[in-house]
Structure 1
Amino acid sequence: MAIHPQAGQLASHDSLVNLPELMTAYYLKKPCIKNPEERVSFGTSGHRGSALLVSFNEGHILAIAQAIAEYRQSQNITGPLYLGKDTHALSAAAFQTVLSVLTANGVKVRTQLNGGYTPTPVISHAILTHNKMNQQGLSDGLVITPSHNPPEDGGIKYNSIKGGPADKDITDWVAKRANELLESNLVGVKRLSSDDTDKSDLIEPFDFINHYVDDLENVIDMKAIAKAKIRIGVDPMGGSGIHYWEPIAKKYGLDITIVNPEVDPTFRFVPLDKDGRIRMDCSSPYSMSNLLTLKDDFDIAVGNDPDYDRHGIVCAGSGLMNPNAYLAVAIEYLSQHRPEWPKDIQFGKTLVSSGMIDRVVNGLGRTLCEVPVGFKWYVEGMYEGAMAFGGEESAGASFLRKDASVWTTDKDGFIMALLAAEILAVTGKDPQTHYDAQVSKYGQPFYKRIDVVATLAQKSILGALDVKDVTQTELAGEKILNVLTHAPGNGAAIGGLKVSTENGWFAARPSGTENVYKIYLESFVSEEHLAELEKEAKALVDSVLKV
């Protein structure tokens, strides 16, 4: 895809989302259940959409919230539900809708003390710490966020009693019940008025900020960062972690500068992404261009997406790290600097993450667990303490506490950002320098992800492929060694396929939210070999889709 000519520049005023139009659409537009695009659908990170496209409207949230309340009752989940929201405009509206339904169903809800925003990892942390004590029944949570998606989008995701994204069995049940409620014109949805919701004794203010910040020293070596006087620059990108960095700096004596304290639901201060849209993607050099201009002012600079489950790491001199590269460095560092972690513990990667991770883990003599796309596949392992680290190529990851017990079972942009500072403080070298050493040892990878337009029928075919559907024996001049439709780490279906040779691979899977399929490619040979991989991967996928 060609780079938009305004990529990396601020959007013009007339191109910003029209907030009155967006909010009017949320309340007035009604989803048509017969239209697949307007049904409730849980992808890898919950239900997402836009009120303008009738895919994220009050009707959807009423139905989802009622379904969640009924699911909790069926599972005897009686503890408080931890509810958070990010800074997208639709998040505030959906937050109130959810509250009105949950309280009508008698659900006790804990929300941020004095209002405000709550990041995804903070919700996960709160669920896990609550359930460890188990004094008031088991708890779960909801986060109102479309992650890094554009300002006009909304999203909602359910975190189970194990703290992380609910597994497919749960989300399938919730989606089915929510669509039944939509089909019946929301008959069966319980809801309180705004006044009655506010008066309800079921809403409990909770100090998420201090609860999370006070515990950080048990997962990150904060003393080492403070002692080394690491200068940290932070661009919150207008996200839900905006009010966390100052308490972190104050409690642990860190040198943290917030380079942009603004919060605005139009996200007008975020430069346009490569396609010319505002997207709070902290792994994009275009969206992160504001912070990149300041990279030499700090030892480490970090950015996060609106719900803080992603991280962008900027090293002085070298710039924004590739997300795959940072995952490889984080795994190597943690395996060597967490002495209480068992030697046989697993390190997790999604099957579309870089093969560099495979080489690093193998070189360390550790165990790799390769799973399908979606952080939900790490929840059980991290919850039980069998998996030390879980990461995704899209710049999301989390890891265990120093004592090898669970920290979060959802992606945590805070600890991944602070880990970069710890790496520099402890080793004297920034993460990019460590990655350069890995390249010298294991080879230079060339990685790419592309989107290809696809119909719903084609996406369905791709998601149901069998190994026997691939008849080719070579790819980009090399013998095909593996064709996978199930992840080797846990045997779960990947919803597509992955084809590997000795020095390259590609994976193709349908998008859960757009009419495209995604192709991930990597070569350990050259850019030219990567181009050949891309050409032949498209041809192979076209052949099995019969397009």
Structure 2
Amino acid sequence: MNERAGTPALPEDLIDIDELVSAYYDREPVEPVVFGTSGHRGSSLDGAFNEGHIASITAAIIEYRQELGYDGALYIGRDTHALSEPAQKTAVEVFAAAGVEIRIDARNRYTPTPAVSLAILRANGAGTEAGVRVEGPGLADGVVITPSHNPPRDGGFKYNPPHGGPADSDATKKIAARANELMKDWRSIPRMPYEQARVARTTGTHDYLSAYVDDLENVVDMEAIRKAGVKIGADPMGGASVDYWAAIAERYGIDLTVVNPEVDPTWRFMTLDWDGKIRMDCSSPNAMASLLQIMGENAPYDIATGNDADADRHGIVTKDGGLMNPNHYLAVAISYLYANRTGWNADAGIGKTLVSSSLIDRVAGELGRNLLEVPVGFKHFVPGLLDGSVGFGGEESAGASFLRFDGTVWTTDKDGLILCLLAAEILAVTGKTPSQLHAELVDKYGPSAYARIDAPATKEQKSKLGNLSPEDVTATELAGEPITDKLVNAPGNNEPIGGLKVTTENAWFAARPSGTEDVYKIYAESFKGPEHLAQVQEAAKDVVDRALNG
């Protein structure tokens, strides 16, 4: 933990925007294109997010969609990071030169990830009797230019196919491989000068904001929030939700204040995260320190919320509980939604990542709902959200989405805005804060201690960890309890988890290699208290070390 974590950023913490943008155009690509769980990310200063990268990725996407026969409009959104606008300009130039129909924001402003997902789904038939089409001609898809909650120096570029959610591994591997081939001679990729591309016949606009805001009443009970007079303080954290929160307040007449409407690509108004970096992580108490201070004893709001830069994540702050642990809020949201969404399919399951809290398992068991436990990555929830067989999909990293009131798809990408509004709906309908409802769940199912730690690992060890088999784990007990399962594939869809999960009756751990650092991540939880959690973590490191070095 950095000694300045949670304190305001100082001038020396801020990036030089001119240097960052100049590097985007002036520096040749050094690092290869690599798609993680949320697209390609990197900084122009490191030669990892430069004009050559974006031109090459865009050209690769054009070839990919031609191969699959996607010839509808391609919806483009961007967040408030400094590299997002130049990256959008590059993409528009390449798309226009190839004659691709594109739709950019009608206001030439910022676009949250869920607004792009919604636009793709609506274009492909969501809300009609035929339902969403994901195969055949005329299909729309999209690009979101964002590195999510990453520091201001970073850029990001991700592709959403016609199902509206994050592209799966088969697509991203193919796009990345082709982009790296094209990048060898990226200056030869056809481009149309931006001023021409902006007004080209194939370049159109889409009113992302109105389309999203006007549709919200079909997924969140906005009237209940208005009638109850719930006071909401929404902090966009300098991100793409900034215009949306003001529009939501006006459209629905709710008591909502935009706590900080400022947009500054240096994010000089932020408090520093745990490692001393500026990071728009709405699940971090350090990054959310300013909002937590406002929500003190004499807080002016009943519920306060935060969103990351592309608004696909949520942070929930209550007067009585402070910043909620994402796992705690997911469990509360699930418990509430399945009791209050009578239009959902009676068999609609509950989606969670395998590193999310087992409190969700216990809630699902009480509800009598099928639990779909999947690897890390929101893409695994897409099929269930599309056909309504999954009512809610959520990740431990504060990303989730859920169905409309009528049981049809809302978004197939994470939506931080509806999860924030749901907290206000919960208070309006139940008269209790999400923190109070979590306390009730703890009384019913028992308290849990949950944490994630990192342990050092070489590249060879990380590779081995990603390819372990259950037989590689020779231990029979974990922190004093017999091991009940050893998983390398997720039980919900049998997809590889890229690591290992070990369970006992009252605890579990999961170990996954980091995609960016020479460490592996250990997620662990115990229903026997913090001391037992510490034992589980130590035992987990021992189990993994033996498997890696055995």
Q: Which TM class, normalised by the smaller chain length?
A: over 0.9
User: 1:189-212 CA distances to partner (integer Å, 9 max, x unpaired)?
Assistant: 221122332331221121111111
Q: Secondary structure at the match of 2:117?
A: helix
Q: Is the 8 A contact 1:44 1:512 kept in 2?
A: no
Instruction: State how far apart, in whole Å, the 2-side matches of 1:364 and 1:262 are.
Output: 42
What residue is the counterpart of 2:61 in the other structure?
68
Unaligned runs of 5+ residues in structure 2 are none
Instruction: State how far apart, in whole Å, the 2-side matches of 1:102 and 1:454 are.
Output: 41
What residue is the counterpart of 2:13 in the other structure?
15
Pairing of 1:343-492 with structure 2 (within 5 A): 343-492=346-495
The aligned amino acid for 2:492 is G
User: 1:137-189 CA distances to partner (integer Å, 9 max, x unpaired)?
Assistant: 2100100000001110111111110000011111111011111112x322662
The aligned amino acid for 2:339 is Q
What residue is the counterpart of 2:23 in the other structure?
25
Shift of 1:17: 1.1
What residue is the counterpart of 2:253 in the other structure?
253
What residue is the counterpart of 1:139 in the other structure?
140
Shift of 1:488: 0.2
Q: Is the 8 A contact 1:349 1:390 kept in 2?
A: yes
Instruction: State how far apart, in whole Å, the 1-side matches of 2:399 and 2:446 are.
Output: 24
Instruction: State how far apart, in whole Å, the 2-side matches of 1:85 and 1:517 are.
Output: 31
Instruction: State how far apart, in whole Å, the 1-side matches of 2:224 and 2:463 are.
Output: 50
Q: Is the 8 A contact 1:297 1:316 kept in 2?
A: no
What residue is the counterpart of 1:57 in the other structure?
50
Q: Is the 8 A contact 2:70 2:137 kept in 1?
A: no
Q: Bigger CA drift: 192-201 or 74-83?
A: 192-201
Q: Is the 8 A contact 1:506 1:537 kept in 2?
A: yes
Among 60, 85, 89, the alignment partner of 1:96 is 89
What residue is the counterpart of 1:44 in the other structure?
37
Q: Secondary structure at the match of 2:242?
A: coil
User: 1:475-532 CA distances to partner (integer Å, 9 max, x unpaired)?
Assistant: 1111111000000000000000001111111001112233322110101101111111
With over 3 angstroms needed to count, the CA separation of the structure-2 counterparts of 1:261 and 1:136, relative to structure 1, is: farther
Among 506, 521, 526, the alignment partner of 1:523 is 526
Instruction: State how far apart, in whole Å, the 2-side matches of 1:435 and 1:291 are.
Output: 21
What residue is the counterpart of 2:543 in the other structure?
540
Q: Secondary structure at the match of 1:505?
A: strand
Shift of 1:399: 0.2
The aligned amino acid for 2:489 is H
With over 3 angstroms needed to count, the CA separation of the structure-2 counterparts of 1:83 and 1:178, relative to structure 1, is: same
Pairing of 1:182-221 with structure 2 (within 5 A): 182=183, 184-186=184-186, 189-221=189-221
Q: Secondary structure at the match of 1:452?
A: strand
Q: Is the 8 A contact 1:292 1:320 kept in 2?
A: yes
Give the length in aligned residue pairs: 539
Q: Secondary structure at the match of 1:494?
A: strand
The aligned amino acid for 1:423 is I
Instruction: State how far apart, in whole Å, the 2-side matches of 1:515 and 1:127 are.
Output: 37
Residue 282, structure 1, aligned to residue 285, structure 2: no
User: 1:408-454 CA distances to partner (integer Å, 9 max, x unpaired)?
Assistant: 00000010000000000000001010000000000101000112233
Residue 223, structure 1, aligned to residue 223, structure 2: yes
What residue is the counterpart of 1:35 in the other structure?
none
Residue 80, structure 1, aligned to residue 73, structure 2: yes
Q: Is the 8 A contact 1:509 1:518 kept in 2?
A: yes
Q: Secondary structure at the match of 1:293?
A: helix
Residue 158, structure 1, aligned to residue 156, structure 2: no
Instruction: State how far apart, in whole Å, the 1-side matches of 2:25 and 2:246 are.
Output: 36
Q: Is the 8 A contact 1:43 1:513 kept in 2?
A: no
Shift of 1:16: 0.8
Instruction: State how far apart, in whole Å, the 2-side matches of 1:342 and 1:198 are.
Output: 44
What residue is the counterpart of 1:308 in the other structure?
311
Instruction: State how far apart, in whole Å, the 2-side matches of 1:10 and 1:28 are.
Output: 32
Among 113, 132, 148, the alignment partner of 1:120 is 113
Instruction: State how far apart, in whole Å, the 2-side matches of 1:545 and 1:25 are.
Output: 40
With over 3 angstroms needed to count, the CA separation of the structure-2 counterparts of 1:171 and 1:188, relative to structure 1, is: farther
User: 1:228-263 CA distances to partner (integer Å, 9 max, x unpaired)?
Assistant: 000000111000010011111111110001111110
Instruction: State how far apart, in whole Å, the 2-side matches of 1:515 and 1:60 are.
Output: 24
Q: Secondary structure at the match of 1:276?
A: coil
Q: Is the 8 A contact 2:447 2:527 kept in 1?
A: yes
Q: Is the 8 A contact 1:46 1:156 kept in 2?
A: yes
Instruction: State how far apart, in whole Å, the 1-side matches of 2:28 and 2:96 are.
Output: 23
Instruction: State how far apart, in whole Å, the 2-side matches of 1:344 and 1:359 are.
Output: 17
Q: Secondary structure at the match of 2:149?
A: coil
Pairing of 1:171-190 with structure 2 (within 5 A): 171-182=172-183, 184-186=184-186, 189-190=189-190
User: 1:25-83 CA distances to partner (integer Å, 9 max, x unpaired)?
Assistant: 21122224xxxxx1111111111111112111111111100000111111111111000
The aligned amino acid for 2:386 is Y
Instruction: State how far apart, in whole Å, the 2-side matches of 1:456 and 1:318 are.
Output: 40
Q: Secondary structure at the match of 1:308?
A: coil
Residue 233, structure 1, aligned to residue 233, structure 2: yes
Q: Is the 8 A contact 1:39 1:179 kept in 2?
A: yes
Instruction: State how far apart, in whole Å, the 1-side matches of 2:187 and 2:531 are.
Output: 58
Instruction: State how far apart, in whole Å, the 2-side matches of 1:543 and 1:54 are.
Output: 37
Instruction: State how far apart, in whole Å, the 2-side matches of 1:190 and 1:400 are.
Output: 41
Instruction: State how far apart, in whole Å, the 2-side matches of 1:120 and 1:69 are.
Output: 20
The aligned amino acid for 1:207 is D
Instruction: State how far apart, in whole Å, the 2-side matches of 1:15 and 1:333 are.
Output: 41
Q: Bigger CA drift: 102-111 or 12-21?
A: 12-21
Q: Bigger CA drift: 365-374 or 184-193?
A: 184-193
Q: Is the 8 A contact 2:92 2:198 kept in 1?
A: no
CA RMSD of aligned residues (A): 1.4
Q: Is the 8 A contact 2:69 2:137 kept in 1?
A: no
The percentage of counterpart residues that share the same residue type is: 57
Instruction: State how far apart, in whole Å, the 2-side matches of 1:114 and 1:202 are.
Output: 18
Shift of 1:136: 8.9
The aligned amino acid for 1:92 is E
Instruction: State how far apart, in whole Å, the 2-side matches of 1:453 and 1:31 are.
Output: 29
Instruction: State how far apart, in whole Å, the 2-side matches of 1:505 and 1:274 are.
Output: 25
What residue is the counterpart of 1:266 in the other structure?
266
Q: Secondary structure at the match of 2:72?
A: coil
Under a length normalisation based on structure 2, what TM-score does the superposition of the two structures give?
0.96
Q: Secondary structure at the match of 1:244?
A: helix
Instruction: State how far apart, in whole Å, the 2-side matches of 1:483 and 1:27 are.
Output: 48
